[in-house]
Structure 1
Amino acid sequence: MGVSLIKRLKSSGQNLAVIDRSGKIIFTNIHGLAGNIFEVLSSEAEEEVKSVIHGNSPTGRTASRLVEGFTEVAAEPLEGAGAVVYFHRDSAVFQAERRHTLLEQMSEGFFSLDADYRFTYINEKGARELDLASAAISGKKLWDVFPALAESDYARYYIRALEQRLQVTFEEYYPPLSAWFQVNLYPQLDGGMSVFFYNLNAAKRTERRLWESEHLDSLTNLLNRKATYDHLQTLAAADEPFSLFHLNINKFQLINDVYGYETGDKIITELAARLNSILPESYVFGRFGGDEFVIAAVESMDDDRMTAYASQLLEQVDQPFASFKDDSIELRASIGVAKFPRDKKTADEMLKAADTAMYQAKKIHGDGPAIVMFQESLQQDMQRRMMIDRDLAAAIHNGSFFTVYHPQICTDTGSIIGVEVLSRWNHPKLGLIPPPEFISTIESLGKSLFFTLAVMKAGLNDYSKWVEQSDYNGRISFNVPPSIIDSSGFFKEVCRLKDIYQIADGIIELELTETANVTSSSEKRNALAALRDAGFRISIDDFGTGFSSLDYLIDFPIDEIKIDKAFVEQINANKKGCVILQKMIDLGNDLNLQVIAEGVENEDELRYLQLAGCRFIQGFLFDRPMPSDRFVLRLKKVRAQKNTGI
């Protein structure tokens, strides 16, 4: 067979095979067709082709179902070579077969129904998904095969699609098969319906995992911060009354530090389960942070009811935890409460209000359990606190702080024996800010050493002026945070300042608040001893209000105790308080310590202290804290009175 003939046959666009006189296939453009053609033709087609080969018939055409996809065969003689056999398709049969193939190869399930909802066909995928045998359901009604559909939303969708001739798509759960399905319904021209469906269980599980990762806390399975906030926004938008409880475990970081984060996680998980067990399903309950929970009680509560409910929450915290089988550890919590819409009008504002009340509870009650209801004044205090925290770091460096001086008086002579240096902050918007409002923030910023040394430098600079202007020879006292007392930097710098300003030994006094951290630490005790050896006096401030044990007084390197104002206020008010005050004065005198009573404001207190043996006082009865220039005038006035004998 010539090359030109092969090219012509290839370009003919027909499905064909060239055979020799024995039926052997010499050339074909039909994939999969090889060998002898008579092996794939029906007997009738074989006879027709052989007649053509032997010249008994110029052309032949007959049916053949042995070659897949082809239903007719035609042949024409090929001189000297046999014949060319052409294969033709019957379009109707081919389309039906093609349709069947496509339906079986689909990844979706498929079945078709007639106008009476009877099954006419189901593909293999569909039968497998629905746990059916295709032969067993042919001709049966949909409602008989799946009785549960008749009472479900499925029936509504099927009836709508078939009776209204509408294409319908929906997703529904089918309990008997424990499966979600996406279903597409297509009405047919013959009155029936084609149903394509897809099992969504895997997609739903993925969707659920995604939703959980976005909305649930991974440790407790409660709502996370974002989801809790979204629920609160929904409640606020609906103007639905609710009470918001913000619960925070006090000093929970200590649990993590001592017992490890694994134990801490167990406690959080157990507490979440406890709280969840007493909450109605309608309440919103979420974990808002490491040791913080937010609960929205979706009902109208008065203040008494809110307080009672918060107490129930605290009871759950107070109970022993399974994580501590060998240790008796008590957890405490603080709760802030706000009411919508009485206190605030939006979710953001409500969260801020409850958070503000919670921090107020911590501030007032320390480590103990506490409940605080939101008040607008708390918000104002919080805003002030935030402004102070925000501006403090810059103020330390830009000179916004200044010093004032509070004289200490000898009651025997009326002379000034010392002065305490106090720091003040003149805020550009808030005005004068007292130390209790900014000292703790300075410590949290890690600026205690820098700030203390700056105050000491300013105080000693003024001290040098007093010596020159009024021959002042009394002491000057500085408050020192316990956190820096044993740092090498502090010892080095205070000794350097003492040398720079040429201050004699026994003049500079360092005041420390009485705390267990100070009095029981060997490192701090050694540091104080070194400072005392270097010529500094050591004073214990607020004596009697801090550490409960007094045995540290036996060998602690101190020169003075300052009795807190709280004990002075007991004079003429509380008999037991007066007994304690007297004993404190006696104790200091017996130990050869200088005793100063702070906060003396009236003559009755002065007389009592003099009779009790307290010779030194500090308080508004004689002086308020004053700037350096006024202190110089005060010194000159005392000297003048002494010279005139007044």
Structure 2
Amino acid sequence: MIKTFSYVYKNATELTSFIENNGIYEYPNIFIQVFANLKDREEVGFIQKYLHEELPLAHILGCSASAAIVNGETIQEKITISFTVFEKTELHSSLFLFKDYANAEKLGRMISDRLVSFDTKAVILFSTNHAMYLPELLSGLQGGSSEIAIAGGVADGDSACREGYVFYGENQSDQGIVAISLNNADLHIDTFVNYKLQEIGKSFTITKASGNTIFAIDKKKPLQILKHYLGNDFIKEIDTLKEEFIFMLNTKGDKKPIRISKILDNGAIEMNHSLLQGDSIVFAYTDLRATVEDSVRELKGLRKQNAEAIFTYNCFARRRVLHGFADEELRILHSHAPTSGFFANGEIAYENGKPKLANQSFTYLALTENKVYKKRHTQPIHYTISEPLKTVATLTHLMKASQEDIEQLNGELRISEQYHRSLFNNNADIVYSTDLSGNFTSVNPAFEMMFGYKEEELLGKSALKYINREDIPRVRMHFFRAIKGKEQYYNIEIYSKDGEKNLFHLKNIPITINGECVGIYGIGRNITEQKKIEDKIVQLAYYDQDTGLPNRIKFTEKLGETLQRAKKKRRQIAVLAIDLDRFKMINDSLGHDVGDEILKEISDRIQEAIPSGAYLGRFSGDKFNLFLSKNVDMEEIIKAAKSILRKVTEPIHFSEKEFYITASIGISLYPNDGKDEITLLKNADIAMNRGKYPGGNRITLYSKKMNEEAFKRLELESYLRKALQKDEFFLCYQPLIDLNTGKLYGSEALIRWNHPALGLVPPGDFIPLAEETGLIEEIGSWVLKTACKQNKQWQDLGLEGLTVSVNVSANQFQQTKFVKEVKRALADARLEPKYLTLELTESTMLRNIDHSIEVMKSLQELGVRVSIDDFGTGYSSLSYLKDLPINTLKIDRSFINNLSLETTDIAIVKAIITMGHGLAVKVVAEGVETEEQINLLKDLKCHYAQGFYLHRPLTTDDFEKALLSS
């Protein structure tokens, strides 16, 4: 779930209240965007330092801006702050200085290397006004990947400091770029860019240029051209109007909008993009009607999307041109999801899978972590183009149409005067003509060069002699249709004289003289490379890049097609969901690169194991899907599944070590378990997850019972979200006994849930669910406060020195305000810190060992005791144990259950107790259930114990009755 909290800055006190009231301290992944005017730079520095101190893990980025966007409204002359918090998305950010890199492309690659990973979905950039470098930088950043959305903009400047500035954390720069990446394979992003420009007037040729400065246009000073076509008022108001009146640059056939940065004293003009001598430029203006209609259509489509937050980066000149429509766009966007952003001095637009620097654009990123669509009551979109806008649109349309008329007249004149040269001699495509019998009457130089034939070799010969025999009927059909007056388009492979084969897109046009067809023209373009690119795009869109297997989209499409055939022929289909067990351990221990190599080997093994006719795909991470459509009976299905498990469990060799991996397989059948691809995939997934519960490495068939259990789990989650506010939780306390004296020294607080309809819900059912949904933080806070207050009450009743132990979840422990929360709980209960013990599992501490040690030291400085719970079940605890600031080790009950002189467990328990004595920490044995275990623990000099043999967990009343009376 993504949330955005936006604030217009007034003072630090109000900002503190805003952060606290919205609970922003509690979130782990925070993206803060700050936008301000140039004059507020010093104040921004103060805000940066304040935010960095209050939210040290947050990512603080921003820049100078002419205006900001807060909750869908345009804010000027004020400092704005937007806090966007992510539940599942990891953030990586940094500041990069232009001076540290040889060129912009290298800087782009560095940003990619530092911030982009396999699950990156978007990169957002704020740059100082070095726009001439940005196209090259964006090219280096993208690195050929069209799956990462790139957005942002250029900081606003003025005549005194035209570069503007960017900031990151506590740092600011006039010559740099700040960037942040959003990393989450399940993050969904919708992008949109809207800038519709129309070219107006004649085309000019740049006759002298260097870098991004034009010295001559059509051999005249650029200033002369501007005065002639735009007038003196434009020159006077250049700082305002330069963003509204832009040029379209045509460089080597690639068109892009550019604008004037400033007019130099010598009459030259400096542009915001590099250009070359020989490039052409033409004036361009916003196509108002197309811009509005395209935007309205997109905004209507957005109503069907599940947006949770929207970032938008706009152009202020576009806002002026559209006379209020830009504000309407923002209002509508905000009705879909909280909307924030700023008006940039050049926007980074993400279009057709490529980032580019645009002008007069409106771009947004709509983000969601939630796959479930939630219907929103959005505002209706009704917009009528205003009268001033209609007038300007009509005027620009008139200018465009007039220019087109002139170009058409000139074109007709050129065609009539230079007919042969334009169609033949100067055409890069192959051009030829034939008579009504299909014999060559002429070919152009490009034809000769492409195929290696001289014109004299071809004249009078049939064109059909130079194509494949099997293509002759198709070519004849198109030829005769062209003679009848219908243009024909088709693709065909043609061999050159030396045998090289190329694919051409041919167009046949009738040659008509005095109303009678006398032959045809053929125009052909070599599309061999284009076809290869199209094939590559299909590969990227429909196939997994690591394994080469079909991806989720391709697999689902193929399954749908197969189901349609199966329905007609009444055949059975089996769908298998294959998920590797605990593969995360491989990635965590060996790294994701090695993990990818192992996944490739696993995919090869699965392909070796499956029967012919099976279709295998990779959905994501370590999950594969398979369907069987031939000879589908239960015996063959189970045989294939067992073959897959055997192949997967074979040892994997890496760095002279062996690794073993297992898999869980879930199976659903058509038509019994579902009649469409979505249901079958879902049910196979449910079966697979069910197989994981006992430990994995098994084959599980889907049943309706599993689906019922899945719905039951959703129902339990719904109840759990309301349990705290309905006061359905209560605590039990299990006594802790000093083995040396046999006396009570404390208790462990254990949460219980009594639901009015379900009754007592086992902790094993709702604790994992609370951790998964994030509710564990709020529940854990309630347990901590309640246990401290109860322990203080018992002390007041006469149990002096009584301690209480409270379990802390990993999510709760990793929160930045956890120590403050502990202080508040102790203060509210008036309990001395030394009477509180916080129990942490090994996995909780090892998730971020440096942070864990820092927090534990803070707790011990406070006086609170720290205990390692379930000791002995982790993977790396011994290597860190000597460095951990702890007071107690709790031996996991799995070692106590079978504790006797005849078992090996006694050696493990003895080693842990001895280690505890050596490290001067107390040792607690949990799960004690027999007298023999108590006696052995006393002999081994264990300090404390708890378990059913001593006392079961007791309610508050039972605890008081059993212990206060004794």
Instruction: State the TM-score, normalized to the length of structure 2.
Output: 0.42
Contact 2:544-2:550 at 8 Å conserved across structures: yes
| Separation in 2, partners of 1:194, 1:340 | 61
- Seen in structure 2, the aligned counterparts of structure 1 residues 570 and 461 have a Cα distance that, compared at 3 Å, is same
- Seen in structure 2, the aligned counterparts of structure 1 residues 564 and 314 have a Cα distance that, compared at 3 Å, is closer
What's the offset of the Cα at 1:230? Answer: 0.9
SS in 2 for 1:233: helix
User: Which letter maps to 2:678?
Assistant: D
- Seen in structure 2, the aligned counterparts of structure 1 residues 270 and 519 have a Cα distance that, compared at 3 Å, is closer
Matches within 5 A, 1:146-295: 148-149=468-469, 152=470, 154-155=472-473, 158=476, 171=490, 173-174=492-493, 176=495, 177-179=501-503, 199=524, 201-202=526-527, 204=531, 207-208=534-535, 211-217=538-544, 222-239=549-566, 241-247=573-579, 282-289=613-620, 292-295=623-626
- Seen in structure 2, the aligned counterparts of structure 1 residues 208 and 201 have a Cα distance that, compared at 3 Å, is farther
Structure with a larger share of its residues in helix: 1
2:870 corresponds in structure 1 to: 542
Structure with a larger share of its residues in strand: 2
- Seen in structure 2, the aligned counterparts of structure 1 residues 528 and 283 have a Cα distance that, compared at 3 Å, is same
| Separation in 1, partners of 2:861, 2:951 | 32
Say which one has the larger Rg. Answer: 1
Contact 1:103-1:110 at 8 Å conserved across structures: no
Instruction: Report whether the alignment pairs 1:510 with 2:838.
Output: yes
1:352 corresponds in structure 2 to: 682
- Seen in structure 2, the aligned counterparts of structure 1 residues 197 and 424 have a Cα distance that, compared at 3 Å, is farther
Matches within 5 A, 1:334-349: 334-341=663-670, 343-349=673-679
Match 2:700 to one of 373, 383, 395: 373
| Separation in 1, partners of 2:652, 2:795 | 59
Match 1:598 to one of 905, 910, 926: 926
What's the offset of the Cα at 1:624? Answer: 4.4
Per-residue deviation, residues 411-463 of structure 1 (Å, max 9, x unmatched) = 99997553221123456887654444554565567776654332121122233
2:212 corresponds in structure 1 to: none
Percent identity at matched positions?
24
- Seen in structure 2, the aligned counterparts of structure 1 residues 389 and 620 have a Cα distance that, compared at 3 Å, is same
1:307 corresponds in structure 2 to: 642
| Separation in 1, partners of 2:872, 2:815 | 26
| Separation in 2, partners of 1:585, 1:331 | 29
1:22 corresponds in structure 2 to: none
Contact 1:409-1:416 at 8 Å conserved across structures: yes
SS in 1 for 2:931: helix
| Separation in 2, partners of 1:503, 1:516 | 26
Contact 1:174-1:180 at 8 Å conserved across structures: yes
SS in 2 for 1:575: coil
| Separation in 2, partners of 1:142, 1:307 | 60
Contact 1:113-1:121 at 8 Å conserved across structures: no
Contact 2:736-2:748 at 8 Å conserved across structures: yes
Match 2:791 to one of 463, 466, 473: 463
Contact 2:609-2:640 at 8 Å conserved across structures: no
Match 2:652 to one of 304, 311, 318: 318
- Seen in structure 2, the aligned counterparts of structure 1 residues 411 and 154 have a Cα distance that, compared at 3 Å, is same
SS in 2 for 1:497: helix
Contact 1:538-1:560 at 8 Å conserved across structures: yes
What's the offset of the Cα at 1:570? Answer: 1.6
| Separation in 2, partners of 1:525, 1:213 | 44
- Seen in structure 2, the aligned counterparts of structure 1 residues 304 and 607 have a Cα distance that, compared at 3 Å, is same
- Seen in structure 2, the aligned counterparts of structure 1 residues 498 and 134 have a Cα distance that, compared at 3 Å, is closer
| Separation in 2, partners of 1:216, 1:585 | 51
| Separation in 2, partners of 1:275, 1:426 | 47
Contact 2:648-2:661 at 8 Å conserved across structures: no
Match 1:454 to one of 768, 777, 782: 782
RMSD: 5.7
User: Which letter maps to 1:351?
Assistant: L
Per-residue deviation, residues 253-310 of structure 1 (Å, max 9, x unmatched) = 985998687x877777787678778878854344433555444455433323212124
Instruction: State the TM-score, normalized to the length of structure 1.
Output: 0.59
Residue segments in structure 2 that go unaligned for 5+ positions in a row: 1-415, 496-500, 567-571
| Separation in 1, partners of 2:551, 2:838 | 49
Contact 2:795-2:802 at 8 Å conserved across structures: no
| Separation in 2, partners of 1:582, 1:333 | 30
What's the offset of the Cα at 1:233? Answer: 1.6
| Separation in 1, partners of 2:759, 2:677 | 33
What's the offset of the Cα at 1:478? Answer: 1.0
What's the offset of the Cα at 1:394? Answer: 6.7
Matches within 5 A, 1:15-94: none
